[in-house]
Amino acid sequence: MIERCTQRASRAGFPEFPELMFFSPIAHSLSQSLNRLYQARDAAVARGEQLVDLVSGNVNQASVQYPDGLLQEIFTRALSAAKVYRPDSLGQYVARQAISRYYQSAGIALPPDQFLLTPGTSVSYFYCFRLLAKSGDEILCPSPSYPLFETIAQLCDVHLTSYPLRESRNWEVDLDYLESRLTTRTRAMVLISPHNPTGAVATSRELQGLADIAVRHRLPIIADEVFSEFLHGLDQLPRPAQTQAPLVFTLNGFSKMLALPGLKLGWMGISGDPALVKKSLQALEMISDTFLPVNELVQFAAADLLEMGQPFLSSYREAVKRCRKVAVESLSGCKYLAVVPPQGGFYLTARWLGSERDEEQWMIDLLNSCGVLMHPGYFYDIPGIHLVMTFIQELAGLRRSLECVQKFLG
């Protein structure tokens, strides 16, 4: 039931109007108040307390930044190419060509014409949902899951159904249960690997099973690979685009890969059955052409950002590995926590083994005691009692924060 309230114009003498006369139902469903944890965070900030944010995916806040001098050099060069506006609906060819070379180096032969540039992975999801599903249809997503998907689904008027990742099996995809969740309204399956927030990486066996399901039920796979550059103990990432799935949308971008979230450059690579790929690209090109949302300067800089940024990316990967080691060792030292070491990305999820407690209050108490912001597991639909954190942080500060967390947890 949508709560109705009124608002009176102070001067014009208008009668009272119900809000629903002005707004669609989505305006009400997206209007939400802060939860208790973030109310506590805001109160602490208002008191002038210094907090350590161990949930933000913005790596720049953790002092991870693409080299300034190199950025200036690249954008100065790109400016001359971008100053005359000649948009391409799929994205400037020079950028798509560079992204194609990036995938070729990983053993995936996707030509430039099978890529579409977007202003980030969130928009790529929006495009995919709109392309593949009509109002009331279903998209199958993993659980745990990132809350962003719920909002995108609401905007697209589609429903999310979930399939579980089994914590007892290192967050493995339960393929049998996944297939049992399919209905006549299911239009796509989402795979996030490396996964946020568990750090799980789907194996080649899991991907083969997922591709078999996609073939049997004629379903596309949306493959989110934004953490693909950050693997722990693995030589390479198994990818759905390397399977026989009939249609795969591979999503990535510069936000996590090159620590450039503010540049807003993402992409999707479309692979699979040639007829399905062609149809997808035709529709996506029209969607993109309607908005032309990607900044031209960034597009002309993309090739240099990707290719000249490789030394930075190597050092960035090593920094993530060092932080992961500290986080896993610190939390594994807590006798009441069970930690599945993440195989990719820079998030982890730990399960509380002690007595029953209120997850959110637990995180509020941690915030007030240690000045550390972590998330309760229920934010991501994780059953049981869990904490969720990122370990991408300045190393000495991460150690200090986790020492306090260790003492707090006992």
Task: For residue 326, give both structure tokens.
Answer: 């500290």
pLDDT tens profile 76-91: 999 999 999 999 999 9
b/e code 334-350 from CB counts within 10 Å (16+ = b): beebebbbbbbbbbbbb
What is this structure's pTM? 0.94
List all residues 6 or more positions away from 53 whose beta carbon is below 8 Å from its beta carbon: 61, 373
**32 or 325, which is more confident?**
325
d(CA 324, CA 343): 10
Residue 377 · residue 359 · CB < 8 Å = yes
High-pLDDT (> 70) share of the chain, %: 95
Is 36-65+311-409's fold the same as 85-308's?
A: no
pLDDT in tens, 130-142: 999 999 999 999 9
- Domain spans of the chain, in order of start: 36-65+311-409, 85-308
Query: Averaged over 246-250, what is the pLDDT?
Result: 98
Interval 352-380: pLDDT, tens: 999 999 999 999 999 999 999 999 999 99
The number of angstroms, rounded, from the C-alpha of 244 to the middle of its chain's C-alpha atoms is: 25
What CATH code is assigned to 36-65+311-409? 3.90.1150.10
pLDDT for the residue 73: 97
> Pick from 191, 174, 200, 196: which is nearest to 340 by CA?
200
Is residue 375 a contact partner of residue 388, using CB atoms and an 8 Å limit?
yes
Question: Rounded distance, CA 187 to CA 210, Å?
Answer: 14
325 vs 20 pLDDT, higher one? 325
Number of H helices, E strands in the chain: 14, 16
Mean pLDDT computed over 14-28:
69
Residue 345 in tokens: 């990305």
User: Can you tell me the distance from the alpha carbon of 349 to that of 401, in angstroms, rounded to the nearest whole number?
Assistant: 17
The pLDDT value recorded for residue 19 is 61
Residue 83 has what pLDDT?
Answer: 94
Which pLDDT does position 24 carry in this prediction? 83
User: What is the reported pLDDT for 233?
Assistant: 94
What number is the average pLDDT over the span 118-127? 98
Domain 85-308, second-level architecture: 3-Layer(aba) Sandwich (3.40)
| pLDDT above 90 for 153 | yes
Average pLDDT over every residue of 321-332: 97
What's CA 189's distance to the chain center, in Å? 15
Whether residue 124 is predicted with pLDDT greater than 60 in this model: the reply is yes
Region 199-203: mean pLDDT is 98
